[in-house]
Amino acid sequence: MSNQNIFQAFEEAKKASGKFLKLAPGERRTLQFNVNRIEIADSEFEGKKTGGKSIHFTVIDPKEPQAEKVLSMGVKKADAIMALLKAGKNLLDIQKIGSGKDSQFIAIPL
């Protein structure tokens, strides 16, 4: 296997592993949200409950429809996404700005 092929195989394996979708700071993805599969869960940080709540959105990247993932964020950060979903918009362009507690998610309906 050539070096280029091994790097491509690594990226594909990384995308397929795990059920959670992690966006890097500045990353932008188009996601299809399943409004029938939204969950509210207790927030955890490093395996410990924080006392807050998280929203778990079940999403699909239209470019990879077989790979269902969960996009998780705090309740306050999910506000704009929830408003768009409530308005019937479930194909969204999501961009993560910042990292850690300073991160925010920008949602644009498509």
Read off the tokens for 47: 């395996």
pLDDT classification of 100: cutoffs 50, 70, 90: confident
Q: Could you give the CA distance from residue 10 to residue 29 in angstroms, rounded to a whole number?
A: 20
Per residue in 36-72, pLDDT (tens digit) is: 999 999 887 777 787 889 999 999 999 887 889 999 9
SS3 71: strand
Local structure of residue 83 (DSSP, 8 states): H
CA-nearest of 78, 85, 33, 31 to 55 is 78
DSSP secondary structure string for all residues of 2-61:
-HHHHHHHHHHHHHHSSSB--PPTT-EEEEEEEEEEEEEEEEEETTEEEEEEEEEEEEEE
**pLDDT over 70 (residue 1):** no
**pLDDT over 70 (residue 6):** yes
Residue 56: per-residue pLDDT: 96
Burial 18-52 (b: 16+ CB within 10 A, else e): eeebebeeeeebebebeeeeeeeeebeeeeeeeee
